[in-house]
Amino acid sequence: MVVGKFFSVFVLCCVVLFNIGVEGSHKVYPHYQSLKLDETSANVKEVHRTGFHFQPPENWINDPNGPMIYKGLYHLFYQYNPKGAVWGNIVWAHSVSKDLINWEFLEPAIWPSKPFDINGCWSGSVTILPGNRPIILYTGLDPQKRQVQNYAIPKNLSDPYLREWIKPDNNPLVVPGEGMNATAFRDPTTAWRVDGHWKMLVGTKRKHRGMTVLYRSRDFMKWTKAQHPFHSKEHTGMWECPDFFPVSLHSENGLDTSVIGENVKHVFKVSLDLTRYDYYTVGTYDKNKDRYIPDNTSVDGWGGLRYDYGNFYASKSFFDDVKNRRILWGWANESDTATHDVEKGWAGIQLIPRTVRLDSSRKQLVQWPVEELETLRWNNVELSNQKLTKGNKVEIKGITAGQADVEVTFKIPSLEKAEPFDPSWVNAQELCAHKGSHVQGGVGPFGLLTLASKNLEEYTPVFFRVFKSKDKHVVLMCSDATSSSLKQGLYKPSFAGFVDVDLADGKLSLRSLIDHSVVESFGAGGKTCISSRVYPILAVMKDAHLFAFNNGSESVTIEKLNAWSMVKPKQMNN
């Protein structure tokens, strides 16, 4: 759950920007929680409103809650302020879709109405019980402002839209026990079943140690707390929106959350309140001790693997049993000042849903946009065998560059000119800020200049740079918003991540989804993903351009590039 006090400060407070995000005072301004578009500027052009990403017609959204499929319809619940464009008045909004692309907006599923949630209905998950019976688990704030775990059930299971939900009076199911922090106890996971017992996790912290607490139940109504944390880590702070699921060792198909066995690994993910990023590890679930043990293949903490190295937070996954895939939803947390969003009457988007699976190395995940997104492609432009020498750029014409899908494979003829890699460069984001797209290198930087103005006063480069370490090559992937807008006062970070890829064939692939104010990029087939929120003032609508470029002394070749204009879905919550 994104705690609202953190976001309410954007409007009237002095904001301090760090390389990890935005911080400020925790004072809430109720007037701004209900500020509507007509109270600010009704004539503001919505040049930054996305064309094919999930977004309500107006107002604030954050965490995706409990996505699921039921009777042929995809359901997405999400945190929503029905009264304004900043955090506040949060309800569980509800939209449904047949294809994950076109969405119908329904009435909220749940909102504060009972003593156990009278002060808030915060994040949670959906579990499908035997007999295809969905049940919502969510965090409520009771009259004492304690965070308690509640449930809701559909009023009519024969309705595929599940329009109405009931919150029974035997709530709450779980309350913070003695010695627990009642203000840091939230976001129950999808439950899984092992040997006749249901298990679920709740995020919390003990001083500065982040952790998840496990609860067990035979009947889903009476829950018992485990004696020890399911997993914890020192100096990581509050763990929000935990997620826990199995991945197959031998198949690209997804797995139901309750699957365990020799042929699976488990993924454990948390959203760190201190950094506003999502981190995960791959490891082993000990079902007898109810503990999670990360594999020793990545850092467990701030320096570890992330689903996405950009504007991406509070994610939630679910198993799609119709297409046998696990789908991941993430929220593009707002990184600019809130007044910019309030002026437009909306804030926040859900990023394109992604399939997620275990990489063949078994050390990390691979993500890719759901295949349904390709139905929005039209007007394909192709480019092949285009050589880019140092300083070259080529414009990709014939598409709507502000609303596009681009896939490109670069061929590197030689790695001899790769710059030496300093082992102290462990922070990819700092390295990208130091060696941006304008800084000449040996092999790279090369990639795409997205949402670019004609004369490059504005552009958001997404690019690679290759270094040579003692025994291997190191690939850095960047999505650098530093030059994305001439507008002052915006948070414009240099997002970056390292790419674990074999360059034996000299090829690097990149896919970027460009949608007016968001650029979602997938490097090396989805091994490294970066999403950037950007707000250009020149490179908008028909004045947005797209270029491929190289600023390295080693030439690279565009082996193949395919770009498409993207049409809008026929229905997007209207």
Q: Encode 465-517 in three state secondary structure.
A: EEEECCCCEEEEEEEECCCCCCCCCCCCCEEEEEECCCCCCCEEEEEEEEECC
**pLDDT of the residue at 16:** 31
Q: Which of 84-93, 129-138, 339-348, 471-480 has the lowest mean pLDDT?
A: 339-348
pTM of the model: 0.93
Catalytic residues: 63
Go through the domains of the chain in sequence order and give each one's CATH number: 59-369 (2.115.10.20), 377-566 (2.60.120.560)
User: What is the token pair recorded at 43?
Assistant: 């004539």
Assign 204 a pLDDT band (cuts: 50, 70, 90): very high
The per-residue b/e assignment along 64-86, b for 16 or more CB within 10 angstroms, e otherwise, is bbbbbbbeeebbbbbbbbeebbb
Assign 342 a pLDDT band (cuts: 50, 70, 90): low
Assign 346 a pLDDT band (cuts: 50, 70, 90): confident
**pLDDT of the residue at 62:** 92
**pLDDT of the residue at 343:** 59
Check pLDDT > 70 for residue 9: no
* CA 478/CA 518 separation, integer angstroms: 15
| Mean pLDDT, rounded, of the chain | 91
**pLDDT of the residue at 347:** 83
Check pLDDT > 90 for residue 11: no
**pLDDT of the residue at 86:** 84
Residue in 35, 14, 146 with CA at minimum distance from that of residue 82: 35
* CA 10/CA 88 separation, integer angstroms: 13
Share of the chain above pLDDT 90, in %: 85
Q: How many CB atoms lie within 10 A of CB 407?
A: 14
Mean pLDDT of 458-470: 97
Check pLDDT > 70 for residue 291: yes
* CA 164/CA 107 separation, integer angstroms: 8
**pLDDT of the residue at 334:** 62
**pLDDT of the residue at 27:** 31
Tell me the pLDDT tens digit for each residue of 494-545: 999 999 999 999 999 999 999 999 999 999 999 999 999 999 999 999 999 9
Tell me the pLDDT tens digit for each residue of 79-90: 999 988 888 899
Check pLDDT > 60 for residue 304: yes
Tell me the pLDDT tens digit for each residue of 377-434: 999 999 999 999 999 999 999 999 999 999 999 999 999 999 999 999 999 999 999 9
**pLDDT of the residue at 367:** 98
**pLDDT of the residue at 370:** 98
User: What is the token pair recorded at 562?
Assistant: 């395919």
Answer yes or no: are the C-beta atoms of 538 and 450 closer than 8 Å: no
Identify which has the larger pLDDT, 336 or 273: 273
Mean pLDDT of 207-215: 97
Mean pLDDT of 467-488: 96
